[in-house]
Structure 1
Amino acid sequence: MAGPQLIADPAPLDGALPGSVLDGADARMLSVYLHVPFCRVRCGYCDFNTYTATELRGAKQSDYASEASAEVAFAGATLRSSGLPARPASTVFFGGGTPTLLPAGDLVRMLESVRTSIGLTTDAEITTEANPDSVDADYLTTLADAGFTRVSFGMQSAVPHVLATLERTHDPDRVPLVVEWARRAGLQVSVDLIYGTPGESLDDWTRSVDAALATNPDHLSAYSLIVEAGTKLARQIKSGLVSQPDEDLQADMYELVDAKLEAAGFSWYEVSNWAKGPESRSRHNLAYWQSQDWWGIGPGAHSHVGGVRWWNVKHPAAYAGRMSDGVSPGAGRETLSAETRELERILLLSRTRDGILISTLPADARVAVAGLIADNLVNAEAALRGRVELTLRGRLLADAVVRRLTV
């Protein structure tokens, strides 16, 4: 999982974890995230830790599988030396960037390093993100034959002018084709959409949702466009070249996609995610929302084990240097306080369909539930069963719900 660099304690070069990570470890699952930080072009809205070929400053894409595999081996050794119980990975997720810019054999090699150094459960969920223009039928078959189980396609929109604003380069007509290839290979398919792009109308959004549903995916994610500081899109909005996303229109778009997906047999299980059934949910993302353990591999990747969080050096060249030296690529680390862990638990679980057990909330938060029901933010029937579960209105105002549960 990649994210911004934080100011905290230095990460030890030997990667040693404190004894506190052993508390409750038997009850936690382990996941692995492999960040592939390469993109053919940089999209104007993206603030992920990604690099085009001209930004690598000596790092080589061709070396990356070996470097990432070295960190996987380092992770396995560190987990064992920490005294944690042996836990094979339940989920593995290749994200980016565009993981499928690398040859399929490189992804397979990285997965094999996880299998060898950490282990995989017999039913491990193994996913890669992919751009529709970065794979073909043979590529997907190679992944499936190696044990991959899912592919998540970054469709974003079916409308050319929306894709142009987002600076996405794929042909929207290619999406049904790559989905069919994935199905033939035996992979589950997820499709990602973005709504609220400047200039995108409700009719445009309807066209994109209908096009995504026409591919008959197992899973669909729909994310509202967020204008991140420092991105090209933020500069374009500041200079008046494009308009600021309209929050009211984004709310209408969310209600539209939710209604269409429910009518098509999907159910929401997290504010931005819908699946055809429990077996189609992303178990990897659920691991994040449930505060399980995960080790993030790659430049800028974040990890979390037993309330200890750390993040890697950001640039691929710096990362390659750490791997060459045989030391941890960690740039910083923090041990979360009990208060912070509780805040994050509420923030993450409240976004899921299963919600939060009211009995596990602090006393003030339990008192707040009645007001949330009165404001139609929390489902009354679910509350009677002892759970906080968001209504449709509550999903639109999820941040406000969290604030009221954590004051």
Structure 2
Amino acid sequence: MSSQENSIPPTHHLSVIILALALGGFCIGTTEFVAMGLIQEISQSFKLSIPVTGHFISAYALGVTIGAPVIAILAAKVPRKTLLIGLMLFYGITNASTALANSYESMLVSRFIAGFPHGAYFGIAALVVAEFAGKQKRASAVAMLMMGLNVATVIGVPFATWLGQLYGWRAGFEFSASIAFLTVVAICFGLPKMQLDHTASIQNELRGLKNTQMWITLAVGAIGFGGLFSVYSYVSPILTEYTHASIQVIPFALACIGLGLVVGGVVAGHFADKNLNKAIIWVLVSNACSYVLCALSMDHLATAFIALFLVSFSIAGLGPLLQTRLMDVAGNAQGLAASLNHSAFNIANAFGAFLGGWLISQGLGWLAPIWVGVLLSLGGLIILLVAFQHEKKSISACKSDANQTC
């Protein structure tokens, strides 16, 4: 345990810490997904096709992918509270700049830069709540932290999408920027003073790059979560062009997806405290099945809403579950592993959005992004089983080496 142990507050303060940090998750979730909810409005504003507009989604995801490990390594010696405040302040400024973008190039750059703090924020915040909650409750505590992101998909994204439809897409990003600045205030007052973790160092974080188990676990998220982003990125045109629904129903569809993420996150967190690895398996299997059901249910709006709920419900737990598994396999590179988890999910974001858009552009139909989800969930499951097998072999080799401490 780090030297932060002396500053851990009483248990009844944990909810305040989670609430303050979850507000940042709400902000980030709103920002990340509102670009998908407003993809048609942004497309019309810049006079671009839907697949090309999807580049803005991919640019943000790539910003997360690059920014998370760089910040985690370079800021290893920065006190966690100070780092969290700085990350959210930067996030607010960059999202305000997105609202001012007036060309394809400036929009692309602003979305890329805005992604930098995303992964590092969630990674460091997860380490904070896990340490304060203790090992027996850390999975559910991390799941509650991630609830901020999930609630964003129920409330923040539909509201920001509605604002964007009413006042122009820029209003959605202005809303996100204001929540970021509010989060800075919440962290200042909601988190206790935290001592520097003297075990953290740039060298320790860099050594984590050699950790095979860490990389395999990250690959599970990078592939397994891609299906949700493939569907979410194009849910607006899928419903308007395939289901023939009005564009006014899009905020309600996004709310259905968000509700599934909230409920699924709570359920997965509960089971993860009992058996983490088994919970991850069930998440991926059930998610693959949900995409099949979704593809067969998009002819009617009511069944489409139910299917979208099931897709998000089944995948909701993957993020916090993999975040917790990384704490077990990362060794001393906790900050790097925690932050890279969100790089992995944004690789899934970029890959899912790109693959879904590419298949649409190839004339494979509006349901193609949904079928992509089946393949990616099963791909994540295969990688997970490889991780378990590799872990088993590593433990056996360790025990057979009399000179090595397992």
Q: Which of the pair is proportionally richer in helix?
A: 2
| Alignment TM-score > 0.5, same fold | no
- TM-score grouping bracket, smaller chain normalisation: under 0.3
Q: Which of the pair is proportionally richer in strand?
A: 1
Indicate the structure (1 or 2) with the bigger Cα radius of gyration.
Answer: 1
**Higher relative contact order by CA 8 Å / sep ≥ 6: 1 or 2?**
2
TM-score, normalised on structure 2?
0.25
